[in-house]
Amino acid sequence: MKNLYNETLKSLEKHLVGAGFKAFNARQVFNWIYRHKETDFDKMLNLSIKLRAYLKGTFCLEQLELFHKQVASDQTKKYLFKLADDHLIEAVLMQHDYGKSLCVTTQVGCNIGCSFCASGLEKKVRNLTVAEMVMQIVGVEAVEAERVSHIVIMGTGEPFDNYDNVMGFIDIANCPHGFEIGARHITVSTSGIVPKIDAFAERKTQVNLAISLHAPNDQVRSKLMKINDVYPIDALLDSVRRYVDKTNRRVTFEYILLSGVNDQISHANALSDKIRGINAYVNLIRYNPVLEFHYRPSKEDDAQAFHQQLLKRGINATLRKERGSDIDAACGQLRTKVKNKGNTL
């Protein structure tokens, strides 16, 4: 039986029309499951008895099992969900002045293998389905009884390594009959898969694109991120320029500050030289330590100096406030801890 959360509005319309129903029925179904949070087809009373029977015989509306929840002192919340095949995934809810932002996971494990990231401690097992990404929002909204207003697709995994499913998830999140989250309230992040950046540019959506850069040159970046050996910085930045030209959208460069590795004034100067002229801003983030790695967060003075140097050199940049530092907030940390303890806490 198919999980209805896998269906975009377009695919459900096609499916229902092919079964002899009307295209507008798909919009009715979407309103029930995403607006009214209804999971019982029999309670969808504006649908015909015939359609309700068909839905019951064709689709299910599975839910994720909440395995564990952590709450930080700043009210950042991390959820560990169990999938139907017993794999564990994480989602993180952050409270901002502008609303509630959910960081969504796209894969079980990750093959990118960044040397500072807990996600890479567990190699990629498989991609998540559209439904498994959708159910992260459904699950969090059910637990909190509040609406998620923003999505960042930068949890465990490389979103562009699961491109088609992530695009389907974005379509549902943005759909007026789905979660109705504005495109500019959705951000997808990539470590730099150049062909997929080009493909994403062709969609010409208003969805935000973030690039995990983390270094100003190939020498440093290749030590931090194996993907740089496949798509070096210059090739990556060329794809970003093509994206900006095609979409007229500003890009975010994510830059994790690692003490003594990439956080010196010389690095700031090299970074500003490398990205000058690109319609972008830099989101500086002090590293959230991971027990298994030797990296440490940039000292506060070094982080501030790096930030100020970028501003002096005409680069738009922000130094992000640290969140969730007193829980397993970094991507993959909680999942890895639980697995190492035999799925217990």
Active site residues: 90, 331
In 97-207, the DSSP E strands lie at 99-103, 107-108, 126-127, 150-153, 186-190
Q: Which residues contact 236 (CB under 8 A, 6 or more apart)?
A: 192, 194, 197, 211, 213, 228
Q: Which amino acid is at 327?
A: I
Residue from 246, 227, 226 nearest 236 by CA: 227
Q: Give the CA distances from residue 204 to residues 15, 104, 195, 200, in Å, rounded to whole numbers and listed in that order.
A: 26, 22, 15, 7
Give the chain's largest Cα–Cα span.
Answer: 69
CA torsion angle for 289, 127, 108, 235 (degrees, to 10)?
Answer: -20
The Cα 93–Cα 71 span in angstroms is: 10
CA 98, distance to chain mean position in Å, is 18
The Cα 211–Cα 214 span in angstroms is: 9
What 3-state DSSP class applies to 152? strand
The Cα 309–Cα 315 span in angstroms is: 9
Assess contact for 16 and 22: CB atoms under 8 A.
yes
The Cα 261–Cα 18 span in angstroms is: 57
The Cα 308–Cα 329 span in angstroms is: 27
